[in-house]
Amino acid sequence: MRYLSLLLLGPWLVLLAWAYWVACKRSRVTWRHGVYDMVVIVVALAAAYGCALAAYDDIAIQNVGNFGRESGSIWKQVMPALYGYGAFAAVMVVGVVARFLFRRRRRDLLSR
């Protein structure tokens, strides 16, 4: 059950990584751009994996009361998916912004 949230989240993250790869394909001029994009995708997937596993270990299932569990054990799968998606999105946003800033800076240096 530990990896269920990753199994459910995985296809969506692969789809987002593919969309990033395709969207940045036109601006890939040198092999360094391709390496940069691959590093961003791998770091984002690793961050999602790490945060999801950390969230799974961090979530505590509530004790059973008189009327059963208050929120159920579904949160043991929901929170890791949310943490993983958040980490993936954060790394991808930083990667896109950094790519834009580096490209803009390079264009400004070449225009002088």
pLDDT in tens, the chain (112 residues): 777 878 888 899 999 999 999 988 777 778 888 899 999 999 999 999 999 999 888 877 666 666 665 656 777 888 889 999 999 999 999 999 998 888 776 666 666 6
User: What per-residue confidence (pLDDT) applies to 76?
Assistant: 80
Q: Is residue 66 part of a domain?
A: no
Q: Is residue 19 part of a domain?
A: yes
Supply the pLDDT for residue 50.
93
Q: Measuring CA to CA, how many Å separate 96 from each of 3, 21, 24, 61, 89?
A: 28, 11, 9, 37, 10
pLDDT reported for residue 9: 86
92 in a domain, yes or no? yes
**Predicted pLDDT at 106:** 67
Is residue 65 included in any domain, yes or no?
A: no
CA 83, 85, 88, 94 torsion-angle sign:
negative
Tell me which residue range forms the domain holding 86. 4-60+71-111
24 domain residue, yes or no: yes
Number of domains comprising the chain = 1
Whether residue 56 is contained in a domain is answered as: yes
Residue 23 included in any domain: yes
Q: Residue 81 domain-assigned?
A: yes
